[in-house]
């Protein structure tokens, strides 16, 4: 939901029509919910935590270990207002930038902005609000 009263924030804008199920790459846990994810081209319908310079496709919303079936599954929000964490070693991120993966589901500024992909609309320390 948008936050109004202390100013406007697009953090947490949810578009449930853009929530899709995906297989999750091995190693993803409940602790990774909320992190940036990228398409994992090693298997169909699979996402991984956004790695260095990976194109971010969305935010991991849920994680489920279906150990009986031998798979990890989760829901990915492909559109919305997302709060991502800036990688500690990354240079400053500014409003108007586009972000890409920085490793471990964290983000950094892309070499050049591509607002058709995503756009930083708010920066609060290491919390980066991105609209996609």
The overall average pLDDT reported for the chain is 92
Q: Is residue 32 part of a domain?
A: yes
Q: What is the pLDDT of residues 60-109, one digit of tens each?
A: 999 999 989 999 999 999 999 999 999 999 999 999 999 999 999 999 99
Q: Is residue 26 part of a domain?
A: yes
Which of 16-20, 30-34, 98-102 bottoms out in mean pLDDT, i.e. has the lowest? 16-20
pLDDT score at 2: 53
The count of structural domains within the chain is 1
How far apart, in whole angstroms, are the C-alpha atoms of residue 19 and residue 120? 21
CATH number for position 97: 2.40.300
Q: Is residue 107 part of a domain?
A: yes
Q: Is residue 99 part of a domain?
A: yes
Q: Is the pLDDT of residue 7 over 60?
A: yes
Within 10 angstroms of residue 114's Cβ, the number of other Cβ atoms is 13
How far apart, in whole angstroms, are the C-alpha atoms of residue 79 and residue 57? 8
Q: Is residue 5 part of a domain?
A: no
Q: What is the pLDDT of residues 36-50, one digit of tens each?
A: 999 999 999 999 999
Percent of the chain with pLDDT over 70: 92
Q: Are 120 and 130 in contact (CB under 8 A)?
A: yes
Q: pLDDT class for 16, splitting at 50, 70, 90?
A: confident
Q: Is residue 84 part of a domain?
A: yes
Tokens for 103, please give them.
């490793």
pLDDT score at 17: 84
Domain membership of residue 20 as a residue range = 16-131
Q: Is residue 9 part of a domain?
A: no
């Amino acid at each position: 939901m948008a936050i109004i009263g202390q100013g406007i924030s697009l953090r947490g804008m949810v578009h449930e029509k853009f929530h899709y199920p995906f297989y999750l790459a091995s190693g993803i846990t409940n602790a990774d919910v909320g992190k940036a994810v990228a398409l994992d081209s090693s298997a169909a319908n699979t996402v991984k935590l956004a790695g260095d310079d990976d194109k971010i496709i969305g935010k991991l919303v849920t994680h489920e270990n279906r150990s009986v079936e031998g798979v990890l599954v989760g829901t990915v929000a492909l559109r919305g207002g997302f709060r991502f964490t800036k990688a500690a070693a990354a240079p400053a991120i500014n409003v108007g930038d586009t972000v890409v993966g920085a490793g471990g589901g964290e983000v950094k500024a892309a070499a050049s902005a591509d607002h058709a992909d995503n756009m930083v609309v708010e920066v609060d320390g290491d919390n980066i609000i991105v609209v996609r």
